[in-house]
Amino acid sequence: MIPITIIGAGIAGLACARRLTQAGLAPIVLDKGRGIGGRVATRRVDAMQFDHGAQYVTARTPSFAAVLEGLQTAGALGDWPDDDGRQRCVGRPGMSSLAKAMGQGLDIRQGVQVTGVTQTGAGWDLHLGQTLLQTKRVVITVPAPQVAGLLGADHPLTKAVSPVRMAPCLTLMAAVAAPSAFQSRQDHDDPLAWIAHDNSKPDRPQGTALWVAQAGQGFSQQHLEQDPAAIAELMLPLLCDRLGVTADDVVYAAAHRWRYARVTGALGHPFLSSVDGTLHLGGDWCIGARVEAAWQSGTAIADDILARV
């Protein structure tokens, strides 16, 4: 039986696993995807790359600032100040580098989808298709709306996460054969709430201008169920207008749907746990819509487990 299993290799899951590993425990991390980091992600297409999820990371607490400083020393993070000189950090050479650095040395098993979690007399059974994985403790770091699919609608912790609210985000990735108009722009009242020139970040490919545009909450909610090709067709004319270019200047365009991208109503606590302390739930949705919030939640879960072991 595995001592501790963490479901989800986003920042919360990685932070939890790293703290436990540093304390001498041996957790395993399961993730259904091909990459780690969750929304801290980079899409690579031929010689192009796009940070199509989290755009940058900042620190509000000394503890997370120390983490970012260590990642910068290791070469996984670089500075990307905004047009007003305010400091932001980005992964080098992509945002996914942050997650890869956090995951070094951890037992991460990708392409493994957990479809259910049930408690037994000895611990927990994780349902992996037709097989079971037995573990003494389980940490779930999936988005709050997905908890019910793992624990069941009637589980007490499923009911406890019901107040949490998360909103989608539609992202457009585009390569434009025209000079860049600006580094980044944020306007919450615009259907394209965020636009960033990806090449302006450190260690990025140069040449053709690579742009990431992320839609606002209303636009994203309205068009969420359309397929990515249709979403790209809707967003591209908006981006061309904002950049002052024509469709003839666009050499590549694709869209991505983040169904649970933004925390709009946080839990208000770093994590949830079962009465016996063998089940924990956490993620950015516990605290707020920041990479730091995910790290804080995962670290708090690890500290709680260490206090119990």
pTM listed for this prediction: 0.95
Evaluate whether residue 73 is within a structural domain. no
Q: Phi first, then psi: what are they for 300, rounded to 5°?
A: -65, -40
Reply yes or no on whether the pLDDT at 84 is more than 80. Answer: no
pLDDT at 17: 98
- For the chain, give the percent of residues with pLDDT over 90: 94
pLDDT, tens only, 264-289 = 999 999 999 999 999 999 999 999 99
The distance in angstroms from the start CA to the end CA of the chain is 16
Query: Are residues 105 and 242 located together in one domain of the fold?
Result: no
Same domain flag for 180 and 240: yes
Q: Could you list the residue range(s) of the whole structural domain that residue 287 is in?
A: 2-40+99-164+267-308
- Residue 103 within a domain: yes
Q: How far apart, in Å, are the Cα atoms of 43 and each of 46, 48, 173, 191?
A: 10, 8, 9, 22
Average pLDDT over residues 185-193: 96
Q: Are residues 178 and 34 in the same domain?
A: no
Model confidence at 88, pLDDT cuts 50, 70, 90, reads very high
Q: What is the CATH number of the domain that holds 251?
A: 3.90.660.10
Q: What is the pLDDT of residues 44-54, one digit of tens each?
A: 999 999 999 99
Residues with Cβ within 8 Å of residue 66, at least 6 apart in sequence: none
**Gyration radius of the chain's alpha carbons:** 20
- The answer, yes or no, to whether residue 122 has pLDDT greater than 80, is yes
Mean pLDDT, range 238-267, rounded to an integer:
97
Domain end marker among 264, 280, 295:
264
Q: Do the Cβ atoms of 175 and 46 come closer than 8 Å?
A: no
Instruction: Kindly state whether residue 56 falls inside one of the protein's structural domains.
Output: no
Peptide bond into 93 cis (omega under 30): yes
Quick one: DSSP state of residue 185? E
Amino acid letter, residue 213? A
Show the 3-state SS of 193-230: EEEEEHHHCCCCCCCCEEEEEEECHHHHHHHCCCCHHH
DSSP letter for each residue of 30-54: EESSSSSBTTS--EEETTEEE--S-
- Structural domains in the chain (count): 2
- Go through the chain and tell me how many residues it has: 309
Is residue 151 a part of any domain in this protein?
yes
- Does residue 127 fall inside a structural domain? yes
Q: Would you state the pLDDT for residue 1?
A: 86
For the stretch 135-179, pLDDT in tens is 999 999 999 999 999 999 999 999 999 999 999 999 999 999 999
Spatial separation of the C-alpha atoms in residues 149 and 116, rounded to whole Å: 7
Least confident of 55-59, 181-185, 279-283: 181-185
Specify whether 155 is located in the same domain as 184.
no
Residue 90 lies in a domain: no
Residue 87 is predicted with a pLDDT of 83
> Which residue(s) pair with 68 in the sheet?
none
Report how far residue 166's alpha carbon sits from residue 147's, in angstroms, rounded to the nearest whole number: 13
φ and ψ of 58, to 5 deg = -135, 165
Which DSSP state fits 253? E
User: pLDDT, tens digit, for every residue of 201-222?
Assistant: 999 999 999 999 999 999 999 9
Confidence of residue 82 (pLDDT cuts 50, 70, 90): confident
86 pLDDT band, cuts 50/70/90, is: confident
Whether residue 190 is found in the same domain as residue 278: no
The per-residue pLDDT for 293 is 98
Same domain membership, residue 209 and residue 176: yes
Structure confidence at residue 172 (pLDDT): 98
For residue 299, the model assigns a pLDDT of: 98
Contact indicator for 256, 173 with CB cutoff of 8 Å:
yes
Q: Is the pLDDT score of 129 beyond 90?
A: no
Residue 104 scores a pLDDT above 90: yes
pLDDT at 83 over 80: no
b/e 61-73 (16+ beta carbons within 10 angstroms → b): eeebeebbeebee
**For the chain, what is the mean pLDDT?**
96
